[in-house]
Amino acid sequence: MTRPQPHAFGPAPFGARLARSLPITIPALVTLLVVLVGHDRRALWRDEYATWWAASLTTDQLELLLSKVDAVFAPFYLFTRAWVALFGDGLTSLRLPSALAMAAAAGLIGALGRRLFSPGAGLVAGLLFALLPAVSRYGEEARPYAFALAFAVAGALALLRALEQPERWRRWAPYALIVTAIGWSHLVALTVLAAYAVAVLGAVGLRSTALRNWVLATAAGGLPVLPLLWLGKRQTGQIGWIGDRGEESIREFITSIFGSLWVGLAVLGLALLAVRLAEPRRRFLLAWALLPPAAVLALTPVINMMLSRYLLFTVPAWVLLAACTLRQASARVAALTPAARAAAARAVSPVPPTTAARRAVAGPLSAKAILGGEAAQTGGSARRGAVRALAGDGPGWAVSLGALAVLALAGLPGQVEARTLPAGNQADLRTAAEIMRPRLLPGDAIAYGGESHGGPRTFRRGMTFELRDLDGPKDVFVSVRGQDRGSFEAVECADPAECAQGVTRIWLVTSAPDRDLFAAMPVARAELLRDEFTTVFAQRTQGVAVALLVREQPPASQP
């Protein structure tokens, strides 16, 4: 019987607790800082306006909306509605939950790296994640992708914890709840379950209590997601535009999922160098990185969901593998120092027979093989290892931090683009509203036109958000508001002349070209605006033109 390790029981020394917490706290704080810096430079884009629109509806209006579109986002919309009720609907308030989710994800990645490999690997993985431009891009976006990513990492941690004592159902309850949260955040993220299966099979094999309990816990967690799957199946036409846009090239996919082509290629290269198919931990991470895209691609003939942001939850697997390569390189550099060589020379001694015997009879692969280095240690040995890993590797840390600095510099253009106003090729409706604000007068009306950049459907909800603090302008050509019919789209007037009676000033917000601001507009409405109104002011910003139309002598109202 072996003697207990020193410090295996009782409170851990402060240094050990600090060393164990650093892989979690530092990446979380760095991620939150990086995401929040300059987050308000970028205006909301089309999908974020949809989030605000849904969150601003009454309960009846939201129920009607979800019966037609976006049912799969019902949990996210309900959460955002509650959040807005507590903290308001300002830009920062809308985006803060995603920023917090990304910060939590960074801390969880650090914890997962610490559990699978070492505290140093966890810290490097968390910091590498924090520096990715895509983390800033989706961490400052009022959509559920950051939540799906965070829950995917949390699910991996809960799974590894359950595998420590797989016969105890209490260990599986958190995992089942997280499976539900993954499905509620984004249905595509459920494909991570394939990677979880690889982890379970690598740890316990085909016939075991652990495998049975994992299947039961996964099924229990999936039950609350079934209504979303059923409703989503009825609304698949909503994502038909993905097929129309054509497939993303590999270059576009890497650029989008990492936020920078060169950073993405570097992370992928480092990750592939760390692949060891014979090692369950790395095999699990490789499955996490590759199986979800493969599953989505296989479903493409049935339903096309191959969109990079839908697969953002695979990024943690890539950064954890890349961190392994960086830490291995750092260890080799550290081993070249005189102090390391002297320590190695002192450590040369015969292996005790008892230790050799224990290794010889270690038996087949056990759960510890997938739980990783730290889980295979106990109490004081794990804590002392954490302190040594983080405090006694100066040259190695210089290599790791230097590599992170190079990747951060390479990602600077992507960080700037993530804060570009507005994102991508979206119309800049915030600037359009700023053009209008100082020129608005009581009684002014607003109208929409054009087809590109979402047209009136997107412009209406975007301008409603940007001008939400004002009493007006009136949406002159609307007979039934989108909010009242449970839709993102309003019903417009059949007779524009009747709707415009008594209106002398109309602000036109359109994506039509400057040479014809009334293009892509119903004929009767275009004729009314051309014949009875004069354009006295026009200004264009990205993707949208704002024009003030004035009617000098409005026709008398008919009795």
Is the same domain home to 312 and 435?
no
Using 70 as the pLDDT threshold, list the residues of the chain that sit under it: 1-16, 18, 237-247, 337-394, 424, 553-559
- Asked if residue 257 belongs to a domain, the reply is yes
Per-residue pLDDT at 368 = 58
User: Pseudo-torsion of CA 6, 8, 12, 16, nearest 10°?
Assistant: 70
- Asked if residue 367 belongs to a domain, the reply is no
Is the same domain home to 317 and 465?
no
Look-up: residue for tokens 């070209």? 513
Look-up: residue for tokens 């700023």? 434
Name residues whose C-beta falls within 8 Å of residue 196's C-beta, 6 or more positions apart in sequence: 155, 156, 159, 214, 218
By residue range, what is the domain housing residue 167? 20-331
Domain end, chosen from 331, 359, 379, is at: 331
- Asked if residue 363 belongs to a domain, the reply is no
Per-residue pLDDT at 357 = 37
Is the same domain home to 147 and 285?
yes
Helix (H) or strand (E) holding 252: helix 250-258
316, 129 Cβ separation under 8 angstroms? yes
Is the same domain home to 196 and 53?
yes
- Asked if residue 47 belongs to a domain, the reply is yes
Domain end, chosen from 289, 314, 331, is at: 331
Task: Pick the closest to residue 137 from 408, 416, 401 (CA basis).
Answer: 416
Per-residue pLDDT at 233 = 81
Per-residue pLDDT at 488 = 87
20, 384 Cβ separation under 8 angstroms? no
Is the same domain home to 303 and 154?
yes
Structure tokens, 280: 């369950």
Give the total residue count for the chain: 559
Is the same domain home to 326 and 433?
no
Task: Pick the closest to residue 60 from 84, 89, 81, 88 (CA basis).
Answer: 81
Is the same domain home to 452 and 309?
no
Task: Pick the closest to residue 19 from 398, 397, 341 (CA basis).
Answer: 397
- Amino acid, res. 143: R
Is the same domain home to 326 and 438?
no
Domain end, chosen from 331, 357, 390, is at: 331
**227-257, pLDDT tens digit by residue?**
999 988 877 766 655 655 556 788 999 999 9
CA 18, 24, 28: angle at the middle one, nearest 5? 125
Q: Looking at the 3D structure of the chain, how many domains does it have?
A: 2
- Asked if residue 300 belongs to a domain, the reply is yes
- Asked if residue 416 belongs to a domain, the reply is no
- Asked if residue 32 belongs to a domain, the reply is yes
What global pTM score does this model have? Answer: 0.88
Per-residue pLDDT at 28 = 98
Name residues whose C-beta falls within 8 Å of residue 103's C-beta, 6 or more positions apart in sequence: 28, 29, 31, 32, 35, 139
Is the same domain home to 324 and 441?
no
- Asked if residue 502 belongs to a domain, the reply is yes
